[in-house]
Amino acid sequence: MAPGLASSAALGVLAVVLGSSFLVALSEDEPLENLRFVRHAQDAPLVSQYNYIVIGGGTAGCPLAATLSEHSRVLLLERGGLPYRNMSNQQHFTDALADTSPASPAQRFVSEDGVVNARARVLGGGSCLNAGFYTRASNDYVRAAGWDTRLVNSSYRWVERALVFRPDVPPWQAALRDALLEAGVTPDNGFTFDHVPGTKIGGTIFDNSGQRHTAADFLRHARPRGLTVFLYATVSRILFRQQEGVPYPVAYGVVFTDPLGVQHRVYLRDGAKNEVILSAGTLGSPQLLMLSGVGPQAHLEAHGIQVLVDQPMVGQGVADNPMNSVFIPSPVPVTLSLVQVVGITRSGSFIEGVSGSEFGIPVSEGARRLARNFGLSLLRCFHIY
């Protein structure tokens, strides 16, 4: 599914790894660029050391780095910049997705099988680009992952207090809710964060004034002395070495490049619990592993990369959710609304709708003309694996 319209279920899943509270909280109104621990990669020393190195400042990397900063020195490396102003308001939802310039926070691409998608390059990751819908993971998912249910639930509550809101449901979304119930997507679960069969109103990361709240907001809760964030830092590889008594290579640092092409090396401090944490997204994480010598042997050798670990599954098994979309031109103006009402069938299908714009999706000239004059609604149905 295109991340520009995808639900923000990842925000619920990421909470599983978090603690329930932070010791220090900065002002909620403090602009991220004013936080003294958020800096440009060009200001980074050529060599440095940390307890934890987190690669990727997205929906998982930001809250994880903030949590770890309570008791450790943490470095968060993000290849993009700060959230862009036109991304922060719901009215400008499609601007970033429509921006195809090299500096765009949404890097549009087409997969080998012809699917148009976008990859985030911004502090906050996909939570800066998507439709802002929030839902918890299903109980079956949590059990299958082997996670502690009590910790999961307490972490959800922390995330929900920090940046999740109850949406004001406009007429089009209310009509969608009624239609889903009439079609048999029952029961009516009202407003809930839970992922259960039926029709519900879910959470949103847009507040009542239309302002977006992203995973980068979690950085305001970090311990300032414990966290350093470098923006525009492109990690080129993870450093591995053999360690006595360990049958596989162990990560001990990373190499990243700033926009001027200068290489910087960051090493882990001595300590059994110190770690390099890879949270660079569905595409970035396996790519970086392979660039570092971990992946399918034949593939790495074909690109002249020294093989450290022959792991044939790295980079494999990527799949999108199959989806059907229905565009509904409106004869009257339609209020802009992103995903608020969803229907979850017992077979696992997920039905959602948005209204009021083209949403950066290629449509016919006739549909585009109707969208300009009145508005365009979009009904989507896809299956969740």
Residue 352 near residue 338, CB atoms below 8 Å: no
Give the side-chain half-sphere CA count within 13 A for 373: 10
pLDDT at residue 224 above 50?
A: yes
What is the distance between the alpha carbons of residues 94 and 192, in angstroms, rounded to a whole number?
Answer: 27
Q: How far apart, in Å, are the Cα atoms of 354 and each of 58, 173, 283, 327, 351?
A: 24, 8, 27, 10, 11
366 — phi, psi (to 5°)?
A: -65, -45
16-39 pLDDT tens trace: 333 333 333 444 555 666 688 999
Among 152-161, 251-260, 357-366, which is the least confidently predicted range?
Answer: 357-366
CB 77 within 8 A of CB 55: yes
H or E element, residue 229? strand 227-231
Q: What is the pLDDT of residues 130-178, one digit of tens each?
A: 889 999 998 999 999 999 999 999 999 989 998 999 999 998 899 999 9
* pLDDT at res. 69: 97
C-alpha dihedral (168, 172, 175, 181), degrees to nearest 10? -70
Higher pLDDT, residue 221 or 374? 221
The pLDDT, as a whole number, for residue 165 is 97
Before 105, cis peptide (omega within 30)? no
Output the CA angle 188-191-193, nearest 5 degrees: 110
What pLDDT digit, counting tens, does each position of 319-342 carry?
A: 877 777 777 777 777 788 899 999
Q: Over range 350-366, report the average pLDDT.
A: 67
Edge-to-edge order in the sheet of strand 38-40: 38-40, 227-231, 74-78, 52-55, 275-278
For residues 201 and 33, give the distance between their C-alpha atoms in angstroms, rounded to a whole number. Answer: 34
pTM of the entire predicted model: 0.86
- Please state which of the four CATH numbers 3.50.50.60, 1.10.3720.10, 2.60.40.10, 3.40.50.300 is assigned to the domain occupying 31-132+212-282: 3.50.50.60
- Determine the Cα–Cα distance for residues 18 and 70; give it in Å rounded to an integer: 12
Q: Write down the pLDDT at residue 356.
A: 75
Task: Pick the more confident residue, 12 or 53.
Answer: 53
Structure tokens that stand for 109 in this block: 């691409």
Summarised one tens digit per residue, pLDDT across range 280-312 is 999 999 999 999 999 999 999 999 999 999 999
Question: Is a pLDDT exceeding 50 seen at residue 5?
Answer: no
Task: Answer yes or no: are the C-beta atoms of 252 and 90 closer than 8 Å.
Answer: no
pLDDT at residue 109 greater than cutoff 60: yes
d(CA 190, CA 211): 24
**Sorting pLDDT into bands at 50, 70 and 90, what band is 114?**
confident
Q: What CATH class has 164-211+320-383? A: alpha beta
pLDDT tens per residue across span 260-274: 999 999 999 998 789
Q: What share of the chain is helix, strand, coil (3-state, %, to 5)?
A: 30, 30, 45
Measure the CA–CA gap between 161 and 154, rounded to whole angstroms: 11
Highest mean predicted confidence (pLDDT) among 50-54, 86-90, 322-326: 50-54
Strand partners, 110: 116
Q: What's the confidence (pLDDT) of residue 9?
A: 36
Q: Flag whether pLDDT at 53 surpasses 90.
A: yes
Q: What percent of the chain has pLDDT over 90?
A: 60
pLDDT digits (tens, 9 = 90+) for 226-245: 999 999 999 999 999 998 88
**CB within 8 A of 288, min separation 6: which ones?**
55, 235, 237, 238, 278, 280
User: How is the chain split into domains, by residue range?
Assistant: 31-132+212-282, 164-211+320-383
Q: Which of 40-44, 112-116, 258-262 has the lowest mean pLDDT?
A: 112-116
Which residue reads 């044939």 in tokens? 312
Report the pLDDT value the prediction gives residue 12, as an integer from 0 to 100: 35
pLDDT value of residue 117: 86
pLDDT tens string 174-217: 999 999 999 999 999 999 999 999 999 999 999 999 999 999 99
